[in-house]
Amino acid sequence: MNPSELIRIEGLVLRRGTFRLNIPSWSLAPGQVIGLVGPNGAGKTTLLEGLAGLRPLDGGTARVFGMDPWTDPAGVRSSLGFMSDDMPLFAMKAGPLMEMLSGYYPTWDAELVRDLMDRFRIDPGKQVGRLSKGQGTRLRLITAMAFRPRVLLLDEPAAGLDLAGRRTLLDAVLDVVRDPERSVMISSHLLADVERIADHLLVLDQGRVVQEGRTDSLIGDGRTLEEALLAWGAAG
């Protein structure tokens, strides 16, 4: 693994029932925002969960900061933030939840948390279970970003948000990771959002990579990401 790489995949195989995800080789460099796109069932969530150490590989290797995310989850997750729309949260008030989580991360940024809670209009005194779906989504994102991870993995981070809410969320993500040493992978079916913020794409279909590279080069002039996916046979 190149010391400058944040993630390196070689011969990765992940199975989920009869589904098989196979990625021969791929790497993530610092300073990139990767749009992970493809139809439902293409393997996007499976890949993110594998990189976050939530499921073991069935073949090949995945190294995050040079470590195996399955066998060294603590080492990886100390610098990797992961957020999904169904990620469970403790049943307590939002403010105390943030205070509790801060004890697990030496790099926790309390000022950033206060800023994001204010920007996302989340009442720290409100019970997590009483938050709206959109507020819950925003709170999950805060937990993933609060310790300023070197890699941020986002699985459908804008679920349940209207257009204004999505723009606020995506702007917050870019503000936090606008750093040449940090990178983001974002999976979303909201292709306009991905096209807006991603400088690179990793396109999956039926468990395989069909396109990868710079967003502007892959899409080209005069068409949208949705039109490009249709042309690649990877729309869904």
Judge contact between 162 and 178, C-beta under 8 A: no
Q: What element of type H or E holds 80?
A: strand 80-84
**What does the pLDDT look like over 162-203, one tens digit per residue?**
888 888 888 888 877 778 889 999 999 889 889 989 999 999
Q: How far apart are CA 153 and CA 36, in angstroms?
A: 10
**What does the pLDDT look like over 29-51, one tens digit per residue?**
999 999 999 999 999 999 999 99
What number of other Cβ atoms are within 10 A of residue 89's Cβ? Answer: 15
> Where do we find the tokens 């959002």?
193
Q: How far apart are CA 49 and CA 29, in angstroms?
A: 19
pTM: 0.94
Q: Are strands 183-187 and 200-205 parallel, antiparallel or unpaired?
A: unpaired
**What does the pLDDT look like over 14-29, one tens digit per residue?**
999 999 999 999 999 9
**What does the pLDDT look like over 142-158, one tens digit per residue?**
999 999 999 999 999 88
